[in-house]
Structure 1
Amino acid sequence: MSRPRLRRTLSALATLAVASTTLTGCFEESSPHDALRDFLVGWQTGDYELAARRTDGDEAAVRKTLSDVKLELDAASFRFKIKNVTLNGDEAKADFRAEVDLGENSPLWGYDGVLPLHLVDGLWKVRWSPSVIHPQLKEGQRFAVDPEAIPRQPINDRNGDSLQSPQVLYVAGVVPSQLGAQAEEVVQRLAQITGFPHDRLLNRIRSSPPNRMVPLAHFGRTRYLVLKDRLAQIEQLTVQPQPQPLAPKEPKDLVGKVSAITPEDEQKLGGPQRAGDSIGQSGLQKAYQDYLTGSTQTKVVILDAKTGKDVAVLKEWPGRANQSVKTTIDSAVQQAADQAVEQSRTSALVAVDKATGEIRAVATSGMNQEKDALAGKFPAGTTFSIIATDALVKGNVSPKLRLACPAERTVGGARFVEAGQAAGVSEPAPTLTENFARGCVTALASLARLVDAGALAQSAKAFGIGQSWQLPLKSFSGSVGELGSDADKAKAIAGESVQMSPLSMALVAAAVGSGTWRPPVLVTDPKSPDPTGEIAPAPTPQPVPLDPKVRATLTAMMQAGAKGSPAQAGRGQVYGVSAAAGDESSRQRWFVGWQGDLAIAVLAKNYNPAAIAGDFFGALRDQG
């Protein structure tokens, strides 16, 4: 028994004492109250023998009818309340309210009924007929619950095109009327093969319209191929392939995987799931599961017991409407990003719209798009000098300041080494802009003495580092280490104590390119992964405008940083900066910049990230 069903059943049992008191209080001793009490309490508790004894019908037939009704509705519980009782000689009538818990995460069904009573040999009894159960039920008729699964909705790109392609699920089911006495055997064998609870499968069959296919289990291709031969041995079982748009397109890790419901999923989710019989396992498919699946549309109907045809619809619940999820991904930009990273063994590229912060593409090679590109924590290297320059220029440090770029330098006791720089070089000292463009760590680290720790921390915050932005997937906004000493500040400017994700670094480039830092956006509709609205979203950081003077300086410096690099070669004006980060064993390289409307960050190992950036911009140009 699932937890929701158990709780509902216990709740129903807890009302018995109240129900008995209510019924008893309706009459004096010489009244039909005993018949009313015993019949309804017996029906409610499943003591059908007690209920049958208080009717004038054939006791065996009454017992079977009441038992069948519970099965036909797959009811977790019945609860009753007497509304009014009238007495007229040896005749009586009781109006009651019934509440039926249909279980399986379905709604409660309430209806009004009438219990006619009369004296039989001096004893009050319920005058038996099918209308005692429901006013519209007649001889030769039965109840059924008719659920209709609403197909899973897609995850779309910003233009409304699906980010999934067809994937076949295999649906195993039966037609109840074709099973006859073999229903128990068929269900037992299917339960042994699949692991789904025997009683739940059987109840689903018994409560469904007899002439319609009843889906009992869904399988993905891999699991179906494993079970195919065993399933084929159950002659009454039909397996139908059902293509659904479930296979993720790029960015696959962000879109996420979908699988058929398993017995473990049913237990975890608190009961059988009928809404599409699929569950998001990762990415946006998991984050927006309740939106994408919605809930099952359910009807309670009366059927002709012989033909199985509908006679009446007693109640209908449309279910919670499901909806697609609209992302900010641009499939054309994503294609260019995928093409650009193909040439490298280990890399990640994140592209954002510089004016909005909307994520247009996330592509990786040998890395995970969510765990690494959005939520990865990597040393920033001298790309952090973008943020440091904000604080330096505000402190009136000129970009024309000349700083030597020695092979080694110690700042506040911290030692820095410029890879590839020969010792004792006597060339004229480069300007700050030139050192920024080439990423000279020894020159940039020396700036620690010219900047206040508070100003450096404030600039980091203004560029979103450490901010609690809200994305439906895991992400990392960056972190800066201690800034108390000159050594600490030097390590930060050199990016040694700063960790950034490719996403957070792309947003830094977007801030310079647009003049305003903005938090990232991945999904535009719905606004929150919580369809109930019970979980209030955390406040989103507000946009932070850059100082116009700082932006002009950084734009010129990043123009110099990209000049002559593979990021720009023959592809129009590109702004950016390259940097190495990490120790020798985990050396990685960055390119951070923008062209046109798109700002990007590329992180690569054993490959030039500027070359990946150049291929990306080139692919976009070739698309027209």
Structure 2
Amino acid sequence: MRRARRTLAATVTLAVASTTLTGCFEEPSPHDAVRDFLVGWQTEDYELAAGRTDGDAATVRKALADAKLELDAASFRFKITSIGVTGDESKADFHAEVDLGENNPLWQYEGVLPLHLVDGSWKVRWSPSVLHPELKEGQRFAVDTRPRPRQPIVDRAGDALQSDRVLYVAGVYPNQLGDQAEEVVTQLSEVTGYAQDRLLSRVRSSPPEKFVQLVTFGRSRYQSMQAKLEAIDGVEIEAQEQPVDPDAPRQIVGDVSALTPETEQKLGGPQRAGDSVGRNGLQQAYQNYLTGSTETRVVTLDLKTGRQVAQLEEWPGRQNVSVKTTIDRATQAAAEQAVADTGTSALVAVQRDTGEILAVSTKGLHQERDALAGKFPAGTAFSIVAADALLKKKVSTKQKLACPQERTVGGAKFVHAGQSTGVTTSATFQENFAKGCVTALASLARRVTAGDLERSAKAFGVGLPWRLPLKSFSGALPGLASDADKAKAIAGQNVQMSPLSMALVAAAVGSGTWRPPVLVTDPKSPDPSAEATPATQPAPVPMDAEVRAALTTMMRAGAAGTPAQAGKGRVYGVRASAGSQQGWFVGWQGDVAIAVLTKNYDPAAVAGSFFAGLRNPS
């Protein structure tokens, strides 16, 4: 029943495509013979197709079935384009579309069916050229594929951010298998889990003298089944070096593994069994660029010699390319060293004037999920953003503010965990900012509106829709409906930020302009189809010059006397608490801005170690 329904559907397709032809001939007409032959071929009802030819039925059935195997074709589709009759002879032209599978383009060509009358019935005059005009006796189809090796992810200087790792490729030479191909492939399927029919079609469709890559293994997986693979006569193993072992920042670069039967079913794109596939990080995000697409050629081969006779079609495939990042090796090395002695920490460094991410390093946290996309309490580090709003409202950096141990604002209670200066007014706004006095900062809530704070937050990129190739978080400021809400925002108690978003805040003050982050400079988008229209990023936002000058002075005071200012060169920043033993250092030195988040460790000490590492590279 299934075959009958499929045949009927195809018959209708062909009949509709040639309705203008059906009334052109008196019976007997060659149209029915043409239609039945093409329908039979298309639906794999080779008995129907063979019955409409003058050839030996078994020979025709085998030729049609072999064509599907030799092309590794997922499907054939045909359309009659014209039929002409001259006496007892006829000629039908048809258009063929062959789906070669493996995400290759459709192979389209124009074919010809010669017909003649045999005992009053029209028959297709059988020869191999019926399948394709250039196919001759003693020849067969083949599909020659040429996969390209995986390209590397590189740093801003163009050096690879991964080293070579040996992968093991199991494959065969079809001409050495003889009539044992099916048995060999069946054994390989049982060992590896790949579908037997897919492996066999790869073998049968390939040029016989070419090594056909069938399955790729990482070291551990290969070792687990090495003995079973070596026991399969006809299967050969090639060790191939590929740039897949990630260097720092490892979780940003990402891991690569051999394609497994499970991942082959899930993935689209140009992957084939035997390819490597990015599992996470940039390796996954840019998989289709790094692997490109396979070069494919449809050829005819001489059955006796196996040599190519003609090339029928060629698809060069999309060229695979390396992915260029903004990561700087020296900066990354300094970041790795800076967090080495901590238990839980994240450090993100960006280029102050561009927003380009120079380094991402973590200890006990994940570089993408936490450093780029983490949602952490901002604490008094957010006072940088709040100070922008306060300074715009003409709050003087010299205004005296009391820093009591406790203060209530709008019904919300604030506690200063550091050493209190009592309730005197001897400390200025700048001094309270520098030491992160929560109670003093919260007392300024009535000096700004909710709109003031929201505008400053947006100007520093908080909540804006960034478009990085990896997950990221630009921060979140809640609705501010009361003085208590505003006081909490100034103290960063109801604000969430990622280390990346805080690093960009520091870069904005350091450069005078907030800019969105950049991690990859080429290609412009992880999706090849979107390259013509790269994703729109938020526009840069320049700071008010007077506000920036005041904030720069405040952040110079914030870094002074902390471990961040441990060596030569001026450091600007603020050391802040965020509860639960979490702390921030947000600032810059020279053209590098950073955010450090730590738990049970002084973030300013990490910052000082980082800046020292930049000055004294190992």
How does the TM-score come out when normalised to structure 2? 0.94
Q: Which moved more, 1:117-126 or 1:303-312?
A: 117-126
Q: Which of 220, 225, 228 is 1:227 aligned to? A: 225
Q: Structure 1 stretches of 5 or more lacking a match? A: 1-7
Counterpart of 2:549 in structure 1 is 552
**Equivalent residue letter for 1:413:** G
Q: Which of 143, 160, 163 is 2:141 aligned to? A: 143
Counterpart of 2:571 in structure 1 is 574
Q: 1:19 to 1:538 in 2, by over 3 A?
A: closer
Q: Does 1:195 align with 2:193?
A: yes
Q: Kindly state the Cα deviation for residue 123 of structure 1 after the two structures are TM-superposed.
A: 3.6
Q: Kindly state the Cα deviation for residue 395 of structure 1 after the two structures are TM-superposed.
A: 1.3
Q: Kindly state the Cα deviation for residue 246 of structure 1 after the two structures are TM-superposed.
A: 1.1
Q: Structure 2 stretches of 5 or more lacking a match? A: 1-5
Q: Which of 263, 286, 289 is 1:288 aligned to? A: 286
**Equivalent residue letter for 1:500:** M
CA distance, structure 2, for counterparts of residue 11 and residue 520 of structure 1? 54
CA distance, structure 2, for counterparts of residue 388 and residue 88 of structure 1? 90
Q: Does 1:561 align with 2:558?
A: yes
Q: Which moved more, 1:148-157 or 1:362-371?
A: 148-157
Q: Kindly state the Cα deviation for residue 406 of structure 1 after the two structures are TM-superposed.
A: 1.9
Q: 1:256 to 1:12 in 2, by over 3 A?
A: farther
Q: Which of 430, 433, 453 is 1:433 aligned to? A: 430
CA distance, structure 1, for counterparts of residue 408 and residue 29 of structure 2? 102
Q: 1:196 to 1:609 in 2, by over 3 A?
A: same
CA distance, structure 2, for counterparts of residue 455 and residue 19 of structure 1? 67
**Equivalent residue letter for 2:30:** P
Q: 1:420 to 1:511 in 2, by over 3 A?
A: closer
Q: Kindly state the Cα deviation for residue 486 of structure 1 after the two structures are TM-superposed.
A: 2.2
**Equivalent residue letter for 1:559:** R
Counterpart of 2:365 in structure 1 is 367
Q: Superposition RMSD on alpha carbons, in Å?
A: 2.3
Q: Kindly state the Cα deviation for residue 357 of structure 1 after the two structures are TM-superposed.
A: 0.9
Q: Which of 561, 578, 594 is 2:588 aligned to? A: 594
Q: Which moved more, 1:220-229 or 1:544-553?
A: 220-229
Report 1:294-333 matches (<5 A): 294-333=292-331
Q: Secondary structure at the match of 2:266?
A: helix
Q: Which moved more, 1:87-96 or 1:325-334?
A: 87-96
Q: Kindly state the Cα deviation for residue 341 of structure 1 after the two structures are TM-superposed.
A: 0.9
**Equivalent residue letter for 2:333:** Q
Counterpart of 1:5 in structure 2 is none
Report 1:207-356 matches (<5 A): 207-269=205-267, 273-274=271-272, 277-356=275-354
Q: Kindly state the Cα deviation for residue 73 of structure 1 after the two structures are TM-superposed.
A: 0.9
Residues 444-502 of structure 1 show CA distances to partners (whole Å, capped at 9, x for unaligned) of 12122322222122111111111112111111111123422222222111111111111
Q: Which of 528, 539, 542 is 1:542 aligned to? A: 539
CA distance, structure 1, for counterparts of residue 277 and residue 400 of structure 2? 60
Q: 1:137 to 1:544 in 2, by over 3 A?
A: same
Residues 404-437 of structure 1 show CA distances to partners (whole Å, capped at 9, x for unaligned) of 2222222222222222436x84776211111111
Q: Which moved more, 1:12-21 or 1:358-367?
A: 12-21
Tell me if structure 2 keeps the 8 A contact 1:23–1:36. Answer: no
Q: Does 1:40 align with 2:34?
A: no
Counterpart of 2:442 in structure 1 is 445
Count, aligned residues: 613
Residues 16-41 of structure 1 show CA distances to partners (whole Å, capped at 9, x for unaligned) of 44367566445321343343333222
Report 1:440-479 matches (<5 A): 440-479=437-476
CA distance, structure 2, for counterparts of residue 578 and residue 163 of structure 1? 32
Tell me if structure 2 keeps the 8 A contact 1:84–1:94. Answer: yes
Q: 1:69 to 1:426 in 2, by over 3 A?
A: closer
Residues 59-97 of structure 1 show CA distances to partners (whole Å, capped at 9, x for unaligned) of 222221121111111122222333333333333322332
Q: Secondary structure at the match of 2:85?
A: strand
Counterpart of 1:397 in structure 2 is 395
**Equivalent residue letter for 1:182:** Q
Same amino acid, percent of matched pairs: 70
Q: Does 1:520 align with 2:514?
A: no
Tell me if structure 1 keeps the 8 A contact 2:324–2:521. Answer: yes
Q: 1:40 to 1:387 in 2, by over 3 A?
A: closer
Q: Secondary structure at the match of 1:540?
A: coil
Q: Which moved more, 1:263-272 or 1:389-398?
A: 263-272
Q: 1:90 to 1:429 in 2, by over 3 A?
A: same
Tell me if structure 2 keeps the 8 A contact 1:177–1:210. Answer: yes
CA distance, structure 2, for counterparts of residue 12 and residue 353 of structure 1? 61
CA distance, structure 1, for counterparts of residue 53 and residue 265 of structure 2? 40
Q: Which of 82, 85, 92 is 1:84 aligned to? A: 82
Residues 240-295 of structure 1 show CA distances to partners (whole Å, capped at 9, x for unaligned) of 12111111111111111222112122222359823971222211122222222221
Counterpart of 2:3 in structure 1 is none
CA distance, structure 1, for counterparts of residue 29 and residue 250 of structure 2? 71
Q: Kindly state the Cα deviation for residue 600 of structure 1 after the two structures are TM-superposed.
A: 0.5
